[in-house]
Amino acid sequence: MDNETRKQQLIKTLLQKGIYKKGAKQLYMLTLNELENIYVRSEKINTITGNGVVKVEQATFAAGCFWGVEALFQQLNGVISTTAGFTGGETINPTYEDVYSELTGHAESVQVEYDPSLISYEELVEVFFENHNPTSLNKQGEDIGTRYRSAIFFHSNEQAEIALIAKENLERSGRFKKPVVTQIVPITSFYRADEYHQSYLAKRGQSSCKIS
């Protein structure tokens, strides 16, 4: 069975059984690997609950080049899918080249869909802060520009409170000599990057790259 046929089969199964509460248009935007992860996770949950319905919440982070950030979150138990994209700016439907120009205001970001019964938002935020330099303004490693800024884009007031507390605790911990510059702002429109950038490292057999 080729990849496209398998993808069609998975989408049909997910929609018919109501395993995943997402419309057909959004499912078609996911990669085969992301669809496989959703299906496998739903089957595991079905064994326990008998209904196979996955409760899904979203979180969005920016911490430098989104290739490494996406690979980081893909490894976490409880993460259902990840999407590399852009948010935080004004330009509608930006391309990678648009964002690279530094004229859009967008940051390279990763939107994470996760099962809160398996991993909490607090844990996601902790992973976020532990795996990049939140004191580096518009720079992570050799990547420089506002598109590489450190940011948490919250989806609810609860997420905002959790992120702010985590940032304050980190500043008080004395771990960094410089102030934490991570932006904590509401999510606006999130634009998916083209397929070339999705699961970039996984497609090349790599599990990580330096993101700080």
Catalytic residues, by residue number, are: 65
126 Cβ contact partners less than 8 Å away, ≥ 6 residues apart: 166
Pairwise CA distance, residues 26 & 189, whole Å:
15
8 Å CB contact between 148 and 138: yes
Pairwise CA distance, residues 1 & 186, whole Å:
42
Number of other residues whose CB lies within 10 A of the CB of residue 107: 28
Collapsing DSSP states into helix, strand and coil, what is residue 36?
Answer: helix
Collapsing DSSP states into helix, strand and coil, what is residue 181?
Answer: coil
Helices (H) and strands (E) in the chain, counts: 8, 8
